C-alpha cells in the first residue's frame, strides 16, 4: 500500500490558485460574519470555562436546539415533489379559475404525499389512507387541493375529527395504537363502513408506490364562472401507471422508506410520474335529486361521468427536505376565484382547522415561506408577526383611506351568492345511506381481493376484546353485503345471527 504525504498549506493554496481545485465559499454565521474555528470552543485558558462571548458556539447550539418544528398532528410522515400541471380542456363554462382557461396552459405544482396517523419517522408501509395534497401556483394566487388516495372519508362532520384522530392515535396510557380504541369509535360511526371497506383492501389500503395510487379531492367544490353561474364538482387524480397495491406479506417485507425511494428513484431516472385530472360536475338541482346527500364525504358520485381536464407530471426532487416537504403547508381554504367550498360539513371545518394548525406549527407568516409563497404579488394590510420576511414600505396599513397607490378591491372577485333558509340546527344529515356503496364496492372486487380484504379486516377487528364492538362492526358489514358480514363474523368469533339482529335495528 502506498502512502501519500499530506500537502502543506502553501501547496494547497497554490493548487487552489491554479484552479485545479474549486474554491469553496467561506463558512459564516447566520449574520454573515466569517467563522475562524468551527471545531474548538473559546475558553478562559487551557483549563478554564467556556466563554459566553463565543458567539459562534452560542448561535450554533441555539439554532440546533430549535431545528425541529412541531410535527403535524396528522400526515406527519410525508414526501414531496415538484412538477407541472398542463390543462387539456377549457373549463371557462364552469369556472373563472385561470389555470383551466385554455388547453396547454401550464401551472407549477408542489405535491406532498403522506400517511395519516403515525409520526414523522414511521414506516411508510402502514395500513392508512395516503394524503395527496397538491399546491397549484396559479397566476391568480395559490390553490391547494388537499385530498387522499381514497374518494371518501370515515366521518361526515368535522366536529368528530379530533375524536376520530384520538381513537386511532396511540393510547394516552400505553402510547401504543390499539384496535380496541379504534373500533370502539367506528362502532358508533356506521358511515365509516365504506371507507373501512376500501382501506382494508390491498389496492387502496396499501399502495405499492405513490406513483401507483390515485388522488381525490374527496369533497364537492362549488365552481363559479365569470357570469356567476354555479355547478358543483369533484376532482380525481387518475394515475397513468394504474392502481397497484401490496399484500400483507409484501407489506411486512417492505423497506421503511419504500415509497419515497420509489418516487425519487423514478424522478431521478427520468421516469416522471403522471396523473390525469378528472372532473365530475352536477348542478345544484341534480345534487338535490340524488338518492343520498351529494355533499356527504362518505359517498362518491357513482355513475356521474368523468372528464379529463389536464395532466400533472412530477419531475423535481426537492433540494432540501425540510424547506420543501416539512415547511409545505396546505389548506382547503387556499382557493382562487372560481373555486369555492360546498356545504360539506367536513370540508367546512377543514377550512379553518388546516390553516390554523400551520400557524401554530410554523408561524403566522407561513405563507411567506418559499414553498408556500404564491407567484403573484401579495398586497394587503397584514403586518408584523414572527418571521415576517417580505419587505414592506409606506405608512398606510389600513383601509379605507384617501392615500394614493393603496391596493384596490376588485368587486368582480366577490364570493358567489347563494340562498340559505331554515332554522340553525345541530342535526345529522337527512339521507345517511351508510351501507349501500360499501356493499357495491365489495361486490365489485375480484375473489382474491375480497379474500384479502376480509383477512386484513379480521386481523384488526379480531383483536378487539369487547364482543359487543365486534358484533356491531360485523353488523355494519353485514348490512353492506350479507356474504361480506357472514365471512367476517366467522373469523372474528361473532355469531352471525346475533349480528344480523343488530343490523336489523
Q: How many CB atoms lie within 10 A of CB 69?
A: 13
Q: Pick the closest to residue 443 from 205, 154, 197, 218 (CA basis).
A: 197
Cell 362532520: give the residue.
157
- What are residue 137's DSSP bridge partners? 142
CA angle 219, 275, 251 (to 5 degrees): 85
- Which residues 6+ apart lie within 8 Å of 314 measured at CB? 81, 82, 83, 111, 263, 267, 272, 273, 274
Rounded Cα distance, 138 and 141, in Å: 5
Known catalytic residues are 75, 148
Instruction: Look at strands 215-216 and 230-239 and give their pairing.
Output: antiparallel
- DSSP class of residue 159? G
Rounded Cα distance, 169 and 177, in Å: 6
Q: What is the 3-state secondary structure (H, E, C) of 304-321?
A: CCCEEEEEEEEEECCCCH
- What are residue 132's DSSP bridge partners? 113, 147
φ and ψ at residue 266, rounded to 5 degrees: -65, -45
Indicate the SS3 state at residue 496. Answer: helix
Alpha helices for 35-137 (secondary structure H) = 55-65
Burial (CB count <10 Å: 0-12, 13-18, 19+), residue 75: buried
- Which residues 6+ apart lie within 8 Å of 492 measured at CB? 458, 461, 462, 464, 470, 474
Indicate the SS3 state at residue 165. Answer: helix
Amino acid at each position: 500500500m502506498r502512502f501519500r504525504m499530506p500537502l502543506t498549506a502553501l501547496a494547497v493554496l497554490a493548487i487552489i490558485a491554479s484552479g485545479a481545485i474549486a474554491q469553496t465559499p467561506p463558512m459564516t454565521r447566520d449574520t454573515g460574519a466569517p467563522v475562524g474555528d468551527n471545531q474548538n470552543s473559546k475558553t478562559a485558558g487551557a483549563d478554564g470555562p467556556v466563554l459566553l462571548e463565543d458567539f459562534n458556539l452560542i448561535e450554533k447550539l441555539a439554532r440546533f436546539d430549535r431545528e425541529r418544528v412541531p410535527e403535524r398532528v396528522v400526515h406527519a410522515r410525508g414526501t414531496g415533489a415538484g412538477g407541472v400541471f398542463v390543462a387539456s380542456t377549457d373549463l371557462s363554462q364552469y369556472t373563472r379559475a385561470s389555470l383551466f382557461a385554455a388547453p396547454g396552459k401550464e401551472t407549477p405544482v408542489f405535491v406532498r404525499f403522506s400517511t395519516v396517523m403515525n409520526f414523522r419517522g414511521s414506516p411508510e408501509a402502514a395500513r392508512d389512507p395516503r394524503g395527496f395534497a397538491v399546491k397549484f401556483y396559479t397566476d391568480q394566487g395559490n390553490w391547494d387541493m388537499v385530498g387522499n388516495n381514497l374518494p371518501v372519508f370515515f366521518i361526515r362532520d368535522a366536529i368528530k375529527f379530533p375524536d376520530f384522530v384520538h381513537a386511532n392515535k396511540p393510547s394516552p396510557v400505553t402510547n401504543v395504537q390499539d384496535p380496541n380504541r379504534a373500533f370502539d369509535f367506528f362502532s358508533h360511526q356506521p358511515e365509516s363502513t365504506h371507507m373501512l371497506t376500501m382501506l382494508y383492501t390491498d389496492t387502496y389500503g396499501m399502495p405499492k408506490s405513490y406513483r401507483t395510487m390515485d388522488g381525490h379531492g374527496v369533497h364537492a367544490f362549488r365552481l363559479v364562472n365569470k357570469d356567476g353561474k354555479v355547478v358543483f364538482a369533484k376532482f380525481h387524480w387518475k394515475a397513468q401507471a394504474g392502481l397497484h397495491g401490496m399484500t400483507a406479506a409484501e407489506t411486512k417485507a417492505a423497506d421503511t422508506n419504500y415509497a419515497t425511494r420509489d418516487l425519487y428513484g423514478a424522478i431521478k431516472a427520468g421516469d416522471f410520474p403522471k396523473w390525469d385530472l378528472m372532473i365530475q360536475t352536477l348542478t345544484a338541482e341534480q345534487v338535490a335529486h340524488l338518492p343520498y346527500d351529494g355533499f356527504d364525504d362518505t359517498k362518491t358520485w357513482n355513475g356521474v361521468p368523468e372528464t379529463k381536464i389536464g395532466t400533472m407530471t412530477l419531475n423535481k426532487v426537492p433540494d432540501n427536505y425540510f424547506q420543501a416537504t416539512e415547511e409545505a403547508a396546505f389548506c382547503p381554504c387556499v382557493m382562487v376565484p372560481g373555486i369555492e367550498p360546498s356545504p360539506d360539513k367536513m370540508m367546512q371545518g377543514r377550512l379553518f382547522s388546516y390553516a390554523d394548525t400551520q400557524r401554530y406549527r410554523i408561524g403566522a407568516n407561513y405563507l411567506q415561506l418559499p414553498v408556500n409563497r404564491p407567484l403573484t404579488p401579495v398586497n394587503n394590510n397584514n403586518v408584523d408577526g414572527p418571521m415576517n420576511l417580505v419587505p414592506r414600505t409606506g405608512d398606510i396599513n389600513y383601509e379605507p383611506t384617501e392615500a394614493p397607490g393603496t391596493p384596490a378591491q376588485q368587486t368582480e372577485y366577490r364570493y358567489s351568492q347563494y340562498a340559505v333558509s331554515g332554522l340553525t340546527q345541530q342535526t345529522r344529515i337527512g339521507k345517511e345511506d351508510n351501507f349501500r356503496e360499501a356493499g357495491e364496492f365489495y361486490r365489485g372486487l375480484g375473489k382474491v381481493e375480497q379474500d384479502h380484504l376480509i383477512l386484513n379486516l379480521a386481523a384488526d377487528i379480531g383483536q378487539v376484546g369487547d364482543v359487543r364492538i365486534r358484533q356491531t362492526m360485523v353488523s355494519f358489514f353485514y348490512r353492506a353485503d350479507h356474504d361480506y358480514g357472514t365471512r367476517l363474523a366467522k373469523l372474528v368469533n361473532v355469531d352471525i345471527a346475533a349480528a344480523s339482529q343488530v343490523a336489523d335495528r
